[in-house]
């Protein structure tokens, strides 16, 4: 085997799939630093039992990677001295503040590992620094081990291995207070929670990156942590999220979502099987306070005043409950005017564009404010009254009924609202009720998006199994943590979701293995 095979990143990721040996010790947790940005774990016993013919498949993939035709690559991996049952991945930063990604595994027998490496690559250069042995793989990759733990470090930002090597030695010699397991009580809770896969996020450390700061606006996320647990069940994938917010973040959330979604508003829209449905229930006072905290209130108020009202009055009009439903995405041919910048000649060009048929429903708290606003809009010519509804710009219809304000761009949906047509899908109503926010998509959502050129290539390349629907929600029911859940329900309900995914991506995994040779 050539040395380039050992360098293949997929090789190391697949090591974590080979769940083979006996009881696991958690010694590899001692190499995870207290300031890790994230930690991922996998229960390879549970996962492995759900993969059909896992031994034959992994044997085939390893054969592709290692460049041999042995019929027992799987068996050879059992003699590496590595315990693959509970791999941990984590992210950290070097002394130069450069990010890296790491895989940590317990080591049962360091001598067997070295024998295996030299068997695979007789030119491999194993070096020793005090109690740590290591291999520099180049291009920001390094592998190191002592008598108990194996670590693989990689960084796209570091091509010089010197800093990675220093970090490798540091991780293998962490003192108690420098270990995440000893220093962080929240991580201990995460580590003890059972699931097929788990991800722990240190939001304060992640918030130091510029990308995250674009979302958080550099908010104080001290003692903010997120736990994400994934379980593969028959016909579905379930992902549960628990966000442990600091006092200020939790209070802001509790103020923003004081109430919960009710069935009244969701039930009032004329859609039984929407492509996409989202609902939430805000506290209008919480929204005002949030805008003030972000120093955006004056700017928003100025924009609203151009409509003949102010933000205070607008928030008094609404009760905070909001529903958005998508009934269809249609491809419509339209004419587009093109003006030649030199001759000023006008050309008419036809183009096909996607049009989304939607309905928005907002709960009304104060009808008097709404009526006064509509009078102002009518006088300004911004809207036109047409029987029981108003029309904006000839394409957007607005209707107010039973203290609910509706907006839609579709004539059929407009008629349904005027005729009091209601949702008859009890499953959606039950799912949405009582949550702070909830989203559902049906089986046709992805294919409808695929009509748009923007999404076409992505959807064509992604051979994801057929789904029945996707459901997501979040709530703050206990007022101490923010809980969320995402469930992907596959059309194939008879097999475990991991089997469904495995069968869908098996060819691509083998293809990737061949390319990595």
Question: Distance (Å, rounded) from C-alpha 44 to C-alpha 49?
Answer: 8
Largest CA distance in the chain: 86
Q: Pick the more confident residue, 112 or 382.
A: 112
What pLDDT, on the 0 to 100 scale, is given for residue 228? 97
Domain limit, last residue, from 399, 433, 467: 433
- Stretch 152-179: mean pLDDT, rounded? 87
The answer to the question of residue 453 being in a domain is no
According to DSSP, the residues that pair with 76 across neighbouring strands are none
For residue 85, the enclosing domain spans: 27-233
Does one domain contain both 100 and 224?
A: yes
64 with 137, same domain: the answer is: yes
- Of 404, 406, 402, 367, the C-alpha closest to 390 is 406
pLDDT at 511: 67
Q: What is the mean pLDDT of residues 391-418?
A: 91
pLDDT digits (tens, 9 = 90+) for 218-272: 678 888 999 999 999 999 999 999 999 877 778 888 888 877 888 889 999 999 9
* Single pTM value for the model: 0.82
- The answer to whether the beta carbons of residues 354 and 452 sit under 8 Å apart is yes
CB 241 within 8 A of CB 226: yes
Contacts of residues 464-467 at CB distance under 8 Å and 24 or more positions apart, as own/partner, are 464/504, 465/490, 465/491, 465/492, 465/500, 465/501, 465/503, 465/504, 466/490, 466/491, 466/492, 467/443, 467/491
pLDDT for res 3: 42
Q: Does some domain include residue 255? A: no
Are 181 and 319 contained in the same domain?
no
The answer to whether residues 283 and 427 belong to one domain is: yes
Report how far residue 107's alpha carbon sits from residue 109's, in angstroms, rounded to the nearest whole number. 6
- In a shared domain, residues 224 and 266: no
Please tell me the distance from the alpha carbon of residue 442 to that of residue 123, in angstroms, as a whole number. 55
67 and 166 inside one domain: yes
- Of the ranges 162-166, 171-175, 382-386, 443-447, the best mean pLDDT one: 171-175
Domain boundary among 415, 433, 451: 433
The pLDDT score that the predictor gives to residue 4 is 44
Per the listing, tokens 């006072």 go with 285
Residue 61: pLDDT band by 50, 70, 90 thresholds? low
Query: If pLDDT is split at 50, 70 and 90, which confidence band does 357 have?
Result: very high
Q: Write out the H or E segment, with its range, that includes residue 346.
A: strand 346-364
Among 148, 72, 74, smallest CA distance to 106 is for 148
Residues 374-384 have pLDDT tens digits of 888 888 888 88
Confidence tier at 74 by pLDDT (50, 70, 90) = low
Q: Are residues 212 and 336 in the same domain?
A: no
Decide which of 391, 415, 433 is a domain's last residue: 433
Does residue 301 lie in a domain region?
Answer: yes
Instruction: Answer yes or no: do 198 and 304 share one domain.
Output: no
**Residue 17 predicted with pLDDT over 70:** no
- Is 250 among the domain residues? no
Q: What is the pLDDT of residues 331-345, one digit of tens each?
A: 888 877 888 778 888
Q: What is the mean pLDDT of residues 38-64?
A: 78
**Pairwise pLDDT comparison (456 vs 451), residue with the higher score:** 451
Looking at the structure, tell me whether residues 149 and 217 fall in a common domain. Answer: yes
Gyration radius (Cα) of the chain, Å: 28
Structural domain tally of the chain? 2
Burial tier of 167 (Cβ tally within 10 Å: 0-12, 13-18, 19+): buried
Is residue 149 located within the same domain as residue 289?
no
Q: What does the pLDDT read at residue 513?
A: 56
Please report whether residue 183 resides in a domain: yes
Do both 59 and 185 map to the same domain? yes
Residue matched to tokens 């029987």: 387
Domain-located, residue 295: yes
| Cα–Cα distance, 62 to 244 (Å, whole number) | 40
Average confidence score pLDDT of the chain: 83
- Report if residue 135 sits inside a domain: yes
Assess if residue 173 is contained within a domain: yes
Both 352 and 306 in one domain: the answer is yes
């Amino acid at each position: 085997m050539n040395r380039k095979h050992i360098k293949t990143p997929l090789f190391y990721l697949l090591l974590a799939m080979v769940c083979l040996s006996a009881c696991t010790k958690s010694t590899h947790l001692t190499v995870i630093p207290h300031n890790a940005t994230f930690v991922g774990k996998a229960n390879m016993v549970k996962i492995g039992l759900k993969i059909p013919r896992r031994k034959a498949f992994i044997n085939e993939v390893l054969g592709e990677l290692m460049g041999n035709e042995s019929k027992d690559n799987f068996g050879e991996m059992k003699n590496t001295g590595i315990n693959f049952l509970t791999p941990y991945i984590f992210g950290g930063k070097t002394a130069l503040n450069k990010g890296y990604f790491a895989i940590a595994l317990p080591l049962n027998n360091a001598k067997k590992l070295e024998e295996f490496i030299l068997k695979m690559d007789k030119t491999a250069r194993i070096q020793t620094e005090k109690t740590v042995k290591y291999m520099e793989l180049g291009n920001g990759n390094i592998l190191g081990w002592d008598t108990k733990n194996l670590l693989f470090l990689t960084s796209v930002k570091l091509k010089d291995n010197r800093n990675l090597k220093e970090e490798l030695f540091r991780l293998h010699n962490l003192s108690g207070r420098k270990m995440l397991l000893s220093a962080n009580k929240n991580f201990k809770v995460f580590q003890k929670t059972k699931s097929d896969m788990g991800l722990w996020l240190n939001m304060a450390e992640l918030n130091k990156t510029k990308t995250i700061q674009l979302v958080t606006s550099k908010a104080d996320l001290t003692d903010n942590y997120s736990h994400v647990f994934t379980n593969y069940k028959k016909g579905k994938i379930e992902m549960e999220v628990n966000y442990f917010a600091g006092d200020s973040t939790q209070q802001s959330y509790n103020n923003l979502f004081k109430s919960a979604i009710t069935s009244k508003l969701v039930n009032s829209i004329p859609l039984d099987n929407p492509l996409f449905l989202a609902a939430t229930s805000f506290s209008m006072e919480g929204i005002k306070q949030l805008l003030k905290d972000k120093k955006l209130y004056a700017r928003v108020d100025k924009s609203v005043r151009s409509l003949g009202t102010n933000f205070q009055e607008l928030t008094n009009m609404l009760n905070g409950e909001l529903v958005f439903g998508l009934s269809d995405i249609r491809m419509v041919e339209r004419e587009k005017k093109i003006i030649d910048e030199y001759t000023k000649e006008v050309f008419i060009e036809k183009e096909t564009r996607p049009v989304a048929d939607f309905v928005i429903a907002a709960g009304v708290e104060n009808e008097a404010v709404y009526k006064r606003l509509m009078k102002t809009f009518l006088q300004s010519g911004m809207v036109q009254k047409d029987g029981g509804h108003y029309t904006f710009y000839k394409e957007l219809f607005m209707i107010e009924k039973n203290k609910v304000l509706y907006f839609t761009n579709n004539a059929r949906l407009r008629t349904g609202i005027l005729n009091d047509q209601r949702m008859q899908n009890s499953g959606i109503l039950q799912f949405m009720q009582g949550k702070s926010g909830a989203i559902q998509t049906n089986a046709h959502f992805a294919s409808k998006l695929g009509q748009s050129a923007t999404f076409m290539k992505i959807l064509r390349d992604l051979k994801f199994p057929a789904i029945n629907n996707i459901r997501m929600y979040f709530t703050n029911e206990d007022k101490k943590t923010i809980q969320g859940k995402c469930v992907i329900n596959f059309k194939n309900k008879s097999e475990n979701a991991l089997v469904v995914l495995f069968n869908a991506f098996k060819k691509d995994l083998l293809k990737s293995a061949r390319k990595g040779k």
